[in-house]
Amino acid sequence: MRKQHPLELLIPPPVVMLAAAGLGWLSTWLWRGGVLFQLPLFWILLPVLLASVIGSLAVFHFLRARTTVHPHCPDRTSCLVAHGVFRLSRNPMYLALLLLLIAWMLQLGHLLAPVWLAGFVAYITRFQIKPEERVLRERFGEAYDAYCRQTRRWI
């Protein structure tokens, strides 16, 4: 069995998102010349609205299936949820966090925003999603593998 990295499943994904958001804000404060644009409010609210819908539907599907939404306990998963928003993304809750982060980075309009977005995706993929996938693969076997072949990790 593979040894778990100490950061796997350690930091809650919303905390990782807030850290990336804070780094985005800090970059605007430290490098004011990096602010490139100011977008109209609509373009900032659009990803917030999408995040709200996607995240709410994902939580609803988990609660309806009576399985855990706790990101540190993938071993408590009672069933494989592969319908609704989970047909579009295997990780719609993390996608919702990413969309909120995108909205924040659009608001900041800073040159380094893509760095913090990519950092969020890389961290969540490595230290949250992949460990969850290992547990789900062990728990649901071929059904999970088939789901992975049909549905992308993010979008």
Give percent of the chain with pLDDT exceeding 90: 89
Residue 1 has pLDDT above 60, yes or no: no
To the nearest 10°, report the CA torsion of 143, 56, 89, 17: -120
Over the stretch 45-60, which tens digit does the pLDDT of each residue have? 999 999 999 999 999 9
Please tell me the distance from the alpha carbon of residue 128 to that of residue 107, in angstroms, as a whole number: 27
The answer to whether 88 and 81 have CB atoms below 8 angstroms apart is no
pTM beyond cutoff 0.85:
yes
Over the stretch 70-83, which tens digit does the pLDDT of each residue have? 888 888 999 999 99
Q: What is the mean pLDDT of the chain?
A: 95
Over the stretch 92-137, which tens digit does the pLDDT of each residue have? 999 999 999 999 999 999 999 999 999 999 999 999 999 999 999 9
- Which amino acid, one-letter code, is at 142? E
Residue 29 has pLDDT above 60, yes or no: yes
In this prediction, residue 6 carries a pLDDT of 82
Torsion angles phi and psi, residue 110, rounded to 5: -95, 150
